[in-house]
Structure 1
Amino acid sequence: MSDDEARRMSAGDRREQILAAASRVFGERGYAGGTTDAIAREAGVSQAYVVRMFGGKENLFKEAAERASRLVLEVFRDTIAGFTGDETAHDKRMALAVAYTNLVSDRGTLLTLLHLFSLGHDATFGPLGRACFLNVYRATRDEAGLTSQEASDFFAQGMLTTVLLAMRMPEAAGDPAAMDLMSCTFGEHVTDLIQLTSMQAPLQPGSR
């Protein structure tokens, strides 16, 4: 896509296009390894266009991380909005878990969040990571109506899910130990999860 074609898109669509590309690049290469040039190639626009829109790599990573956190929050709130009030705590956690694992089709979202959390020492990204994490925790506890312990247990399971997905554990499904671990973690949805991860596309060679 040329810069002229990108400019003909709405401002919101242009930003989303580049942020989605940034999530894929930062997700695979991390903050240190990701570059505005690689992100521009992944988005199909010029590096100058990316810099004009976002002002540099630090702000681009910040916005990509905020986008990833927002996507998690949105799918949780959409799920919570469908609760009838008759659900048990287990029902709620399972519904939220399914909504979360469905995000695996956008691998960059999950990996961008992991990279953000690994930068807890950074003066800029540390506070952002904590704020993003706590926003999702508060929604899980307060809006879903879980107790603090129930929400904490759900997050513990969620982080295990994230780590298994990040290391592409479904690719080891032929190993009985891997299948046993994933079945305990994902329950009846383990087959769906393996299918979802098989559809994840890696970065194009020019964006690596």
Structure 2
Amino acid sequence: MSADDRREQLLRAGLRAFSRGGYAGTSTDEVAREAGVSQPYVVRTFGSKQELFLQVLELACAEVRRAFERVLADAPFDPEEPEDWGRLGHAYTDLLADRDLLMVMMHGFAASGDEQIAARARAGMGAIYAVVASTGCTDEQAEEFIAQGMLLNVMLSIRAHEHLDESLPLAALTRCAFGEALEVLT
């Protein structure tokens, strides 16, 4: 396996491990076990747990950004057409199947007391916003679209879709927020 392939394997293992425990609750040993390598190898490759997390967070944000870029590359986008927003929204809901990806983003936002993590989270969110804004939409349209995505992230992180029977108001919000995508999750 090439060094690049091994690095990618470690990043994917980090994505899975950090999605479960977050930055503070995940050790490089857990990432190593997830990847099937030694803990010193993980540290040698990334230098520190922080650097590994920063790169995993960057990967997660980049996956979202690339999903939106693919939609925009496939066909023209008119910000006044609900169908075009639907295409962009479907790209995001397709990512819901990879809970790890979105959970790492949430953990990155939550760990933003660490300035380097906060900077990486801001850069990732800024890059995602830039792609949405490149559609020619208004700032308000971009904000509404991203806010809806963040609501989905929150609902996914609290596993609202797995506990629809616990609270009628939360179940209503979950059904409203996810719409047809709820079927993918349940």
Tell me if both proteins adopt one fold, taking TM over 0.5 as the criterion.
yes
In structure 1, which of residues 146, 157, 162 is the aligned counterpart of residue 153 of structure 2?
162
Q: Which one scores higher on RCO, CA 8 angstroms, separation ≥ 6? A: 1
2:49 corresponds in structure 1 to: 57
| Distance in 1, Cα, partners of 2:2 & 2:99 | 25
**Contact residue 89 and residue 150 of structure 1 kept, 8 A:** no
| Distance in 1, Cα, partners of 2:97 & 2:9 | 16
Amino acid at match of 2:155: L
Aligned ranges for residues 18-167 of structure 1 at < 5 Å? Answer: 18-85=10-77, 88-142=80-134, 144-167=135-158
Shift of 1:178: 4.0
SS of 2:75's equivalent in the other structure is: coil
1:166-199 Cα offsets, whole Å, 9 max, x none, are 11111123455444222321223322232xxxxx
Amino acid at match of 2:142: A
2:3 corresponds in structure 1 to: 11
1:197 corresponds in structure 2 to: none
Using a 3 Å threshold, how does the CA distance of structure 1 residues 88 and 32 change in structure 2: closer, same or farther?
same
Aligned ranges for residues 173-184 of structure 1 at < 5 Å? Answer: 173-174=164-165, 176-184=168-176
**Contact residue 76 and residue 99 of structure 1 kept, 8 A:** yes
Which consecutive residues of structure 2, in runs of 5 or more, have no partner in the other structure? none
Identify which range, 104-113 or 168-177, moves more after superposition. 168-177
| Distance in 1, Cα, partners of 2:68 & 2:127 | 11
Using a 3 Å threshold, how does the CA distance of structure 1 residues 122 and 173 change in structure 2: closer, same or farther?
same
Shift of 1:12: 2.4
TM-score between both structures, scaled by the size of structure 1:
0.81
SS of 2:114's equivalent in the other structure is: coil
Identify which range, 24-33 or 38-47, moves more after superposition. 24-33
Shift of 1:87: 6.9
| Distance in 1, Cα, partners of 2:54 & 2:66 | 18
Taking only the aligned residue pairs, the percentage that are identical comes to 40
**Contact residue 66 and residue 132 of structure 1 kept, 8 A:** yes
Which consecutive residues of structure 1, in runs of 5 or more, have no partner in the other structure? 1-8, 195-208
Shift of 1:66: 0.6
Shift of 1:113: 0.8
**Contact residue 89 and residue 146 of structure 1 kept, 8 A:** no
Paired positions, count: 185
Shift of 1:127: 1.4
